[in-house]
Amino acid sequence: MASRSNALSELVRFWLQSRHGCLIAESVPVKVSHGYSDIDLVAMRPDLQPWVLPDGTQVIRAIIETKDEHDFDPTGHDFGRRVKEDAEALGKVQYIARGKKANFSMLRQEHYEKAASIFGTTAFQRLFVVHALDASVRQEICPALAVEKHIYWITVEEVMSDLITWYEHLENRSVLRNTLVGDLWHLLVGYCNLRPETL
């Protein structure tokens, strides 16, 4: 049973495991000043071969945070505001210093250090999967975060599109029935031929 009940987290876990063959650790506890936070997902392939984000970026090691607030921020404008704030708080360094406010917890120093201790290196990416993100923020801020700090932002629609393309070329689709999300995917996308019109 998954340790999370969030639909986006489960879809991302399915994308990482089934699509990319990653091993996953979930809900990794991280000590912060007033208790514990966590890293949503830790992912890497067991053969240490790279896997690829929808934009073509190669990833070997990554920590992933999923954020879905589509009920009150359908366009991702609020997420855009929060990304701007966190980018300013990061400044020239790799993380937001201990004790400082961060909208996205994986940008904190504690989470960065925890990931480095898990991987044994600082050569890892931080991936944020959100329901939506303001397009102007993605154009103005996200490219620099990717190049300078190995921080990447993708949307659920990009994950869905990547999964659909992969599934259409998958030879043995029935193996997906071994997990709940895989079985749902195989039923809805395979048997029912569900295809979101916007993708």
Residue 68 belongs to domain with CATH number: 3.40.1350
Dihedral sign of CA atoms 104, 106, 109, 110 in order: positive
The DSSP output letter for 97 is: P
The total number of structural domains that make up the chain: 1
Tens digit of pLDDT at every position of the chain (199 positions): 445 568 999 999 999 999 999 999 999 999 988 889 999 999 999 999 999 999 999 999 999 999 998 888 899 999 999 999 999 999 999 999 998 999 999 999 999 999 999 999 999 999 999 999 999 999 999 999 999 999 999 999 999 999 999 999 999 999 999 999 999 999 999 999 888 776 5
List, in order, residues 6 or more apart from 182 with CB less than 8 Å away.
Answer: 14, 18, 175, 176
95: in domain: yes
190: in domain: no
Model confidence pTM above 0.75: yes
31: in domain: yes
CA dist., res. 183 & res. 146, Å (int):
34
Strands 23-32 and 58-59: unpaired
113: in domain: yes
Tell me which residue range forms the domain holding 151.
7-172
104: in domain: yes
